[in-house]
Chains A and B, each alone.
Chain A
Amino acid sequence: MKLPSGMGGWVKALLPWLLLACLLLVPVTGTSANVMKLIFITAVWTTTSLAWNLLGGMAGQVSFGFAVFYGIGAYTTGLLMHAGYSPYLGFLCGGILAAVASFIIGIPTFRLRGPYFVIATIGVTEAVRVVMNNLDITGGAGGYRIDEKQYNPTEHYFSAIAAVSLAFLVSSLIASSKFGLALRAIKQDEDAAADLGVKPYYAKLWVHAIAAVLTGIAGGIYARRAAFFYPGDVFAFQTGISILLMPVIGGIGTVWGAVMGGVIFGIVEEELVAKFPNIHLLLYGSLLIAIILFEPDGLLGLLQRLARLLRSKRSEDPGSNNPDQVLWGRGGSQGR
């Protein structure tokens, strides 16, 4: 473990721990139930955002199909709890089943070049939703209800915080590992990566599975708190789009970008949508257009560009000499 250098380095190293400490203190400070719920939802969304970013951001494999994993997590948790098992076993099994689903999607499509994987993810989402709408043991389109005797908001809260912490930890570890390096290489030039010994097919399969596990867990945690869910909600194409939008808005390919996207999305979903239904669509639409046009590195990229502008008068920015780019992004779209 290398010690961080400079004040910026220390801030970056300590920020996640400070954030975690604040989040853990929230329940004991008498925060209102609404704020707790907001943080819960945001943490669940951020988990999926971080998960998607592993596959879509780092490895460059765009998937519209993460709703499948989310829904599998939700239904597995629901069914297992109904059978009398612990919800935590439900989260775990939901994650594992989501990983199995990821292999079923990935094994045939990752072998092919071109947009086959993207198209397959769209098709699979729709197929699964239709099946779930007509499956009797899960209540079909009518949805599924979890009857938990005790409702404990603090436990829900902590399980969501645990999930997002896990997703952050996994993302950070991958970003700084040789696996992360291989994923970034695959995103840029799959054949050149293979010429250096990387097996792109297997790397993609594995990162897809890891992302699926995290998304499945998030789906289970959401379902347990919601206590009622239906295929048109957890398996919806819209859910898959939402999971994809978060890291894109926040800053694709970077861990903090995915976090930022998840937080913004969670707040918008919970606060704005309640007050102004449909305004979120307008907001996402405009944000997406603005990001694609002006700042491909998302809001995180925009912030870093501003920071650089402020700094540039004082000193020359080394820019390229940044070892934790994947965690923080490059700032601006240079080098793209």
Chain B
Amino acid sequence: MAALKDVSFDIPEKQICGFIGPNGAGKTTLFSLITGAVRPSAGKVHLRGSDVTGVDSATLVKKGVARTHQIVRPFKAMTVLENVQLAIHYGRKAVARTSHAKEQAMEVLKLVGLEHKASHMASVLSLGEQKRLEVARALATAPDLLLLDEICGGLTGTETRSMMNLIHQIREGGTTIMYVEHDMKAIMAVCDRITVLNFGQKLAEGKPHEIQNDDSVIEAYLGKSKLQVNVA
């Protein structure tokens, strides 16, 4: 049994590449393979031509790859600022001085709209805010490639829209984004390219409007309909 099989793709720089698929399609596993959390039993991961297969996540951060978690993992007993400050210290920039790191962490918090919560404990944030904190922390490591894992899951419509704006802003800053999302609508709105996974295999790949009209994708999501219903 393989969670992912024969899945191959390229991520062009400075694009937003979406990955969708029904539950259990292998989206999160794909992320874990790329970020070194899980070592693949076969296959390779290349970053700008160099092999980074199975490299541990801390080393990968130094090479410019960062991720967020589908189920948020804030350091609850630390302040929001400290959560981001840690990433400034240990991320790619490796800022040594705490005062500098705090300033830079504040900048990132401003970008994601959490600056007013900087001194709060991470445990008191709402889910939407915790998702933003996830993005802020990953962003604070100064990545070239940012992997976003269902950052809109469980958010309200307004929160989702502002998250979409944030994603666009991050891309404009020159960061390449790999974006996994369960929700079709969110991913269609923001991605340049989309890859569809189903049962661990690549089902389709293309621009959003191509994916939208792809029969196999519609079938995977909605099932094959034998009955035609015409609504007048």
Contact = CB atoms under 8 A, between A and B. Distances in A.
Interface string B67-107: 10100011111110010011101111010101001000000
Nearest to A330: B77
Interface in B47-61: 56-58, 61
Interface stretch (B119-127, B165-173, B175-183, B201-209): B119-127
Interface string A177-221: 110011011001101111111111000000000000000000000
A103 to B, nearest CB: 20
Contacts of A193: 75, 86
B82 A181 contact: yes
Contacts of A176: 98
Nearest to A187: B77
B130 interface: no
Interface residues of A, number: 25
The main secondary structure of chain A at its interface with chain B is: loop
Contact of B86 (A181, A199, A330, A335): A181
A182 B86 contact: yes
Given A195-B67, A196-B87, A199-B58, A181 B78 contact: yes
B86 A194 contact: no
Contact of A197 (B90, B121, B124): B90
Contact of B96 (A178, A191, A194): A178
Nearest to A178: B89
B92 A197 contact: yes
B37 A197 contact: no
B14 interface: no
A34 interface: no
Counting from the closest, the 4 A-B pairs by CB-CB distance are A197-B90, A197-B61, A178-B89, A192-B73
Given A191-B73, A335-B124, 16 more contacts: A178-B89, A178-B98, A182-B86, A185-B78, A189-B73, A192-B73, A192-B74, A195-B35, A197-B87, A197-B94, A197-B141, A198-B58, A198-B86, A320-B119, A320-B124, A335-B77
28 contacts: A177-B98, A178-B85, A178-B89, A178-B101, A181-B82, A181-B85, A181-B89, A182-B89, A182-B90, A184-B77, A185-B78, A188-B75, A188-B76, A189-B75, A191-B37, A191-B73, A192-B73, A194-B57, A195-B66, A196-B90, A196-B91, A197-B58, A197-B92, A198-B58, A198-B90, A318-B119, A320-B120, A335-B124
Interface of B: 35, 37, 56-58, 61-62, 66-67, 69, 73-79, 82, 85-87, 89-92, 94, 96, 98, 101, 119-121, 123-124, 137-138, 140-141
Interface of A: 176-178, 181-182, 184-185, 188-189, 191-200, 318, 320-321, 330, 335-336
